[in-house]
Structure 1
């Protein structure tokens, strides 16, 4: 699956899902799609669900390119839910690489913390993404 997103306009929210094997091209492609999406607004908040990641095949160059091309702007609050150590480390590295980005990003291990930080009262997180079963 890689990366996908949906826009929840009534909550001014971009809900992104990272699942299965994640690559540089997945991150760059989803960022490009958001940039051209008529419904996307750079001041929307974002929650990134990384609970379904089974493999992180993202390079430092890919994270740098994604960080440099951020589509979110001033006033945007972004939260990443990354319960695994690898996904959490990737989120923290991405946060550092963003430099003086105008949006605010935090990385959490638990959904409840992320939803509370984003102040998403009235929004219920969908069931977490599940990593696909390995092929036998």
Structure 2
């Protein structure tokens, strides 16, 4: 799964992260899991880290469709952090489509520090909190037995 999240209920924020190839299906699944999580509240803010996405497998129509399925409230602050010009452009398209729907709290950032400051956060989350993105734990005895 190239997208995962964890929820900080105390601070009212969702931390999301995507890695590798990320598609429309991945983001839809992410949204569905988030919406169904018992700690999720639509008024929460979000920090979505896309810096380790190597391939954004989205068409323009995919971005438009994703923007119609919002699960956050219009006054939520949502920071999307990207590392490439292509991903910045896709993020801006998403931001624009959401603005047309009345949501003005999405901002695309190239630097994590800028996104953290905008959300009034002091540091980015520990990557170990993204359980689905963690590399598999390999038991050394299992490896030895396989050899």
In structure 2, runs of 5+ residues without a counterpart are 136-147
Which residue of structure 1 aligns with residue 85 of structure 2?
85
Confirm or deny that 1:105 pairs with 2:117. no
Distance 2:125 2:37 in 1: 22
Which residue of structure 2 aligns with residue 96 of structure 1?
96
**Cα distance change, pair 75–31 in 1 and its aligned pair in 2 (3 A):** same
Which residue of structure 1 aligns with residue 124 of structure 2?
125
TM-score (ref. length: structure 2): 0.79
SS in 2 for 1:11: coil
1:109 shift after superposition: 0.4
Q: How many residues align?
A: 129
Normalized per residue, the structure richer in strand is: 1
1:97 shift after superposition: 1.5
Distance 1:81 1:60 in 2: 19
TM-score (ref. length: structure 1): 0.85
1:84 shift after superposition: 1.3
RMSD: 2.1
Confirm or deny that 1:10 pairs with 2:10. yes
Normalized per residue, the structure richer in helix is: 2
In structure 1, runs of 5+ residues without a counterpart are none
Give runs of ≥4 in structure 1 deviating > 6 Å. none
1:45 shift after superposition: 0.6
Which residue of structure 2 aligns with residue 52 of structure 1?
52
1:64 shift after superposition: 1.6
